[in-house]
Amino acid sequence: MGMSNHNMFGINLEKGEPIIVPPLEDTNKKGTLYFLSNLDHNFPCRVRTVYLFEPSKNEGNVEGEVVEVIKNALSKALVIYYPVAGRLTVVSEERMAVDCTDEGAVFVEAKAGCTIAEIGDDTVSMNNLVYDCPAAKHIIEVPPLAVQVTKFTCGGFAVGVCVNHLVFDGQAGMDFINSWGKIARGLSLKVPPFLDRSIFKARNPPLIKFDHKEYLEIEDIPNSSDLSDEEIIYKSFGFDTMKLEKLKKEAMEDGVVGELIEKPLSFAVGLVREAIQMVTDRYIKSTIDYLEVTKAKPSLAGSLIIASWCRLSFDTTDFGWGPSYLAGRVSFPAVKESAIFMAHPKEKKSINVLLGFPASSMKSFEELMQI
C-alpha cells in the first residue's frame, strides 16, 4: 500500500491510500432509497472528531491487530447501519436521499513517527488525524463516513472520523461509533438502531423542486463580525428532541446588538430561556410542515452557533484496547462564530468551551472575560 507523507506539529505522518470497506454481507437494502427529511437538510457540512487510545496493557491485544480489528468491525457495523454504506443522491422526485448501494465506508491507515503523548491534548488542531475526502467539492459528494486509523510508535493509536452531517447528527454519530466499538470487542448489540425516518415527514407533503446546484456547503458562509448597534444577531441552539417524537429542530431567538450591549447579562439569558421554552411538541410538528412547504434553510449570516456536546459519550468509545483517554471535535463549525460545550475528558465535573470568533471579536471577548 502506497504511503504519502504529511506534517503534524513537525512530526512525520505517513498516510496510505484510501480504500473502501464494504458491509461484511448483503444488507438486503441494496437498490433502496433512505430518504432524508427537510430537518436533515439544515446543516450540510462535514463533522470531524478524533479518539485517542493509549498503548494497551492487555496482553491479549497487540498493536499490530489494531487496524484489522477496527476494519473488520466496521464491515460488520455497516450491515446493521446500512445507510452508512450508501451514497447521497438527488432522486427523481427532486428530494435528497441515501442510495443504499452497499458501497461501504472510506478507510485510511496511517503511521506517525512519534508517541501519542507527543501530540498533546488539543484535538482542534489534529486535522491530519482525520481523512475528510478532500476530492469531494460538494456536500452531496461527501460519503456518509470516512475513517482514519493512525498508529503511533508507542503502541497507541487514534481513530479519526469524518461524517456527513446530512446523514448523522451528533447523537446518531455517537451511537454508531460506540456500537462499532462493541462489535470490535465481540459484543452483540442488545438494542438495534432506530433507522425509520418516516416520523420526520410532513402530514401533507407537497412536491417542491429541490435545486441541488444551489445547495452549497455551510463552509462557504463568510464571517459576520463588527456588527453595528442596529443590526440583528441570531443565537442558534441545536436541540436533540428525541424525547419529543424523535425529532430535531433548531430554535432561534434574535436581539438587537445595541440592546444586548446596553442591557445586563440577565436580559440575554432571558432571551435564551425563552427560545428554549419555545421548543414544544406543537412547535416541532409545525416546523416540519413549514420546512416541507417552503424548503427553507436557516440563514446563518450574523449567527452565533451554540451547541452542547456534553452528553455525547466520547469517554465510552472502546475498540478493545480500553476507552479513549481523549476525544473531541477536530474542527469548528464552518460558521466562525460558534461555542461548543464539551465534557472535560478527565475532570468529569468540568466543561470545556471551544470558542470560534474572528480575531477582532475574540480580543473583545478576552477583555470582557478578563482572560
Catalytic residue annotation: 165, 318
Residue 83 φ/ψ, nearest 5 degrees = -65, -25
Evaluate whether 16 touches 76 at the Cβ level (below 8 Å): no
Sign of CA dihedral 267, 271, 272, 273: positive
Q: Please check whether residue 79 is in contact with residue 86, taking contact to mean a CB–CB distance below 8 angstroms.
A: no
Q: What is the CA radius of gyration of the chain?
A: 21
What one-character DSSP code corresponds to residue 17?
A: P
Q: How many residues does the chain have?
A: 371
For 287, the grid coordinates are: 416546523
Residue 270 host element (H or E)? helix 265-278
Residues 6 or more apart whose Cβ sits within 8 Å of residue 268: 255, 260
Lookup: cell for 50: 478524533
